[in-house]
Structure 1
Amino acid sequence: MVNTSGSVVDLGKDNVFSAGRSSTRAFKDGYFDYNFLKFLGLATYSGAEIGECFETAHRIVDGDTESWTNAWQLTARRVEAYADEAFAGGHRCSAKEAWLRATTYYQAAFFVIHDKDPRKKQLYEKHTSCFQKAGALFEPPLQVLSIPYEGKSLFGYFLRVDDKPRPTVLIQMGADGSSEQIYFSGGGAAALRRGYNALIFEGPGQTGTFMRDNSLTYRADWEVPVKAVVDYALTLPQVDQDRIALIGYSMGGYMAPRAVAFEKRIAACIASGLVPSISVLAGERIAAIKAADGKYDHSQKYLLYEHMPKYGLHNGLDDIDEFGKYWHSFELYGLEDKITCPLLVVHAAAEGERSVKMAKEFFAKLPNPKNKFRLTTEDDGAEMHCQKGNAMLLHAIEFDWLDDVLA
């Protein structure tokens, strides 16, 4: 968090959740409030509607995950039914807009459901179905991708401006989003507005790819899946092979810089925010889980029962030490001289004093003079994790910089 002077104030272990003046305060539970803002913020690119979100919030019991899921599912079904009706009546624009909103509401519904619950897959499939129905009405229509990867495939989408070769952003989420969400929040729609193509992908362990094949789990050498994505991108005639950029969000703030340390066909990289070491920033969460004696908060349950399976670890607390070993391999330290392409870091102040300090110290060791570090604060209305609630500012920072470095 920051005070009015713009300096960083450490808020403790929950500082990325509902931390600053830009949060909605719709819920007392900070985890609920942060995620409500996340989904509400997708309204910027037609991924939600303000009244629908607040109406849904009023039906949610604060802190109750079943109530959260049921409320969002009801809204999603209602909006999807309107989309279907509009499409049957020939109202393509209304149908597209409603399917886009239903996409988000189905994601909100499954977001708090854990990996082993069968409702997760059912709601996820509704989430992707609505988005793909809307995408078929884009001009040009989006392409659903199956990117070859080690004899299997990675999931994603390709959105193009037209059929001319254009600069292209490869966009990936972090630990808990989806390709569909990234269209709204991660720059997919913003790219098209600015004349960029967007190839949105999910690597091994990430939601869409893992849903389709749970043998594909996270790996520290993220350059391997990114190589597969670049190989695929270069087969598309609409991609200018000399102007390919990579954007990574949240945990992607480790993955994207790691990838460009080795994948030199990428001309520029953006991280929101920069994560030099996952274990240093998040390792204390393991100790907190052990000390919780089974009384876990929302984020601890997510880590145990939703995030850890994406490393192939399905036994909850029994696997927590093995999980810690995995995290220790997710390090950027030692790669400073290899991250040579221009790098933009957009770091949120509510990540906390330690996170900002680590990111700045690592960034200062990188060699490219075109590198840029931008701290977003409460005064920007963008202090929250990954600038939730102010996507328009985030995308302006990202694409204005890309315009300059890819010119």
Structure 2
Amino acid sequence: MSNTAASVVSVGANHVFSSGRSSSRTFQDGYFDYNLLKFLGLATYSGAEIGECFETASRIVDGDPESWVEAWLSTAKRVEGYADEAFAGGHKVSAKEAWLRATTYYQAAFFFVQYKDPRKKQIYEKHTSCFQKAGKLFEPTLQVLSIPYEGKSLFGYFLRVDDKPRPTVLIQMGADGSSEQIYFSGGGAAALRRGYNALIFEGPGQTGTFMRDPSLTYRFDWEVPLKAVVDYALTLPQVDPDRLALIAYSLGGFLGPRAVAFEKRISACIVSGLVPSPSHLAGNRIERIKEADGKYDHSQNYLLYEHMAKYGLNNGIEDIDEFAKYWSSYELYGLEDKITCPLLVLQAAAEGEQNVALAKEFFDKLPNPKNKFRLTVEDEGAEMHCQKGNAMLLHAIEFDWLDDVLA
């Protein structure tokens, strides 16, 4: 397997990340194409069916967000209806599988609905409802969590192998996923297959927690919410306190390393997409938003009216400079000697040479000899952001490394 970067080919426009040969090339609009691949990839763990995804895509007008929402809603309702019918007839396996797919299709729908649109909450609740119905049929059953945090609570799930103390992964998303998605793409299901428990959580500002309590917004000192999660995890008899790992994705490439610099009960940390300075990544995007003069593409609209709200900034372009100020405090530089637990970094080649170089430069300053940096490339079909489209390879790299480090 090659670990050297292949050439990166940009597919379509309006794309937050460049794409390579593993792109589906279904849409000319690159942001649509990237997200189609993201949801297609959940088929690995029964979170989608390829035929259902491509049939849905055939009804979408390229680049039209409302068309995207309506198409996925239609598919989600149909598949959920099949699940309900199967369950009523006593066909529990069929019901569980269909509810899992409906979970993804509802998420695909609400992704392009803006935060202030009342449909956002309605579709999100269908997304979680389908997953939790399926989770009641898991063996052992899924536990829905309300993790105590500063007088309020963080949302999450606990999946256990059995009732014995086992190594446990705490898994968090980045800026725009959900705990339900992380079950499929982030290692929840993969953990169980390998004898690990999985505690999937969403911190302040992240989708599930923020949808339930908009007063809980992002904070740079992520060790505070992580401490609450670790405190909770250690109350569970199935969690081995000496084998507790953190897995973090996307924006979690800043949040995870920041947290383990201070939370020393974590035995190992994995990040997909190390981000030493989010403000370095945002700088060009913020300037492009200002230059757009109100004619925003999908990713710009997302940042202005979805992501910024999760920092308590609800005025769109009027708050863009305040957002830039917020992100200036999100820095890993200066914490190199504090990130002492073993760290695995998976970096995707299609995120661009500059991002890869910044991540590797920071990684090389970290002290633990068990650290590992792994570039995933086009030849592997894993060059996309967070290895979208190749979950099997992603999880093999993650858990094989954990097996060795936590042995």
Tell me the TM-score normalized by structure 1: 0.98
User: How far 1:16 moved relative to its partner?
Assistant: 5.3
User: How far 1:311 moved relative to its partner?
Assistant: 0.1
User: How far 1:17 moved relative to its partner?
Assistant: 3.8
2:45 aligned with 1:45: yes
Residue pairs, 1:105-184, within 5 angstroms? 105-184=105-184
Task: Name stretches of at least 5 consecutive residues in structure 2 with no aligned partner.
Answer: none
CA distance in 2, matches of 1:399, 1:374: 13
User: How far 1:281 moved relative to its partner?
Assistant: 1.4
CA distance in 2, matches of 1:279, 1:223: 19
Partner of 2:343: 343
1:351 to 1:373, Cα distance in 2 relative to 1, 3 A: same
Residue pairs, 1:322-361, within 5 angstroms? 322-361=322-361
1:16 to 1:284, Cα distance in 2 relative to 1, 3 A: closer
2:283 aligned partner, one-letter code: G
1:15 to 1:102, Cα distance in 2 relative to 1, 3 A: closer
Q: Residue by residue, what CA displacement relative to the aligned partner does 1:10-54 show, whole Å, maximum 9, x if unpaired?
A: 969967546110010010100000000000100000000000000
User: How far 1:6 moved relative to its partner?
Assistant: 3.3
1:170 aligned partner, one-letter code: L
Partner of 1:216: 216
User: How far 1:71 moved relative to its partner?
Assistant: 0.2
1:156 aligned partner, one-letter code: G
Partner of 2:100: 100
Residue pairs, 1:268-307, within 5 angstroms? 268-307=268-307
Q: Does the 8 Å CA contact 1:348/1:375 hold for their aligned counterparts?
A: yes
What do you get for the CA RMSD once the two structures are aligned? 1.5
2:371 aligned partner, one-letter code: N
Partner of 2:5: 6
Question: Aligned to 2:199, what secondary structure does the other structure show?
Answer: strand
CA distance in 2, matches of 1:342, 1:381: 27
User: How far 1:399 moved relative to its partner?
Assistant: 0.1
User: How far 1:238 moved relative to its partner?
Assistant: 0.1
Q: Residue by residue, what CA displacement relative to the aligned partner does 1:191-222 show, whole Å, maximum 9, x if unpaired?
A: 00000000000000000000000000000000
1:57 aligned partner, one-letter code: A
CA distance in 1, matches of 2:387, 2:176: 15
2:233 aligned with 1:233: yes
Q: Residue by residue, what CA displacement relative to the aligned partner does 1:83-130 show, whole Å, maximum 9, x if unpaired?
A: 000000000000000000000000000001111000000000000000
Partner of 1:197: 197
Task: Name stretches of at least 5 consecutive residues in structure 1 with no aligned partner.
Answer: none
Identity rate, percent: 83
Question: Aligned to 2:63, what secondary structure does the other structure show?
Answer: coil
1:6 aligned partner, one-letter code: A
Q: Does the 8 Å CA contact 2:8/2:20 hold for their aligned counterparts?
A: no
User: How far 1:335 moved relative to its partner?
Assistant: 0.2
Partner of 1:381: 381
Q: Residue by residue, what CA displacement relative to the aligned partner does 1:210-262 show, whole Å, maximum 9, x if unpaired?
A: 00000000000000000000000000000000000000000000000000000
Q: Does the 8 Å CA contact 1:18/1:25 hold for their aligned counterparts?
A: no
Q: Residue by residue, what CA displacement relative to the aligned partner does 1:347-399 show, whole Å, maximum 9, x if unpaired?
A: 00000011000000000000000000000000010000000000000000000
User: How far 1:7 moved relative to its partner?
Assistant: 4.1
Partner of 2:31: 31
2:258 aligned partner, one-letter code: R
Partner of 1:186: 186
User: How far 1:283 moved relative to its partner?
Assistant: 1.6
User: How far 1:9 moved relative to its partner?
Assistant: 4.9
1:19 aligned partner, one-letter code: S
1:288 aligned partner, one-letter code: R
Partner of 1:319: 319
Q: Does the 8 Å CA contact 1:16/1:351 hold for their aligned counterparts?
A: no
Mean Cα deviation higher: 345-354 or 10-19:
10-19
CA distance in 2, matches of 1:169, 1:19: 29
Q: Does the 8 Å CA contact 2:72/2:106 hold for their aligned counterparts?
A: yes
Q: Does the 8 Å CA contact 2:347/2:376 hold for their aligned counterparts?
A: yes
Question: Aligned to 1:283, what secondary structure does the other structure show?
Answer: helix
Question: Aligned to 2:396, what secondary structure does the other structure show?
Answer: helix
Q: Does the 8 Å CA contact 1:252/1:271 hold for their aligned counterparts?
A: yes
Q: Does the 8 Å CA contact 1:171/1:201 hold for their aligned counterparts?
A: yes
CA distance in 1, matches of 2:18, 2:304: 22
CA distance in 2, matches of 1:296, 1:147: 37
Kindly tell me the number of residue pairs found equivalent between the two proteins. Answer: 405
Mean Cα deviation higher: 3-12 or 104-113:
3-12
Q: Does the 8 Å CA contact 1:165/1:238 hold for their aligned counterparts?
A: yes
CA distance in 1, matches of 2:388, 2:239: 29
1:260 to 1:141, Cα distance in 2 relative to 1, 3 A: same
CA distance in 2, matches of 1:14, 1:364: 33
Partner of 2:368: 368
2:37 aligned partner, one-letter code: L
CA distance in 2, matches of 1:376, 1:327: 27
Q: Does the 8 Å CA contact 1:349/1:384 hold for their aligned counterparts?
A: yes
1:6 to 1:264, Cα distance in 2 relative to 1, 3 A: same
Partner of 2:309: 309
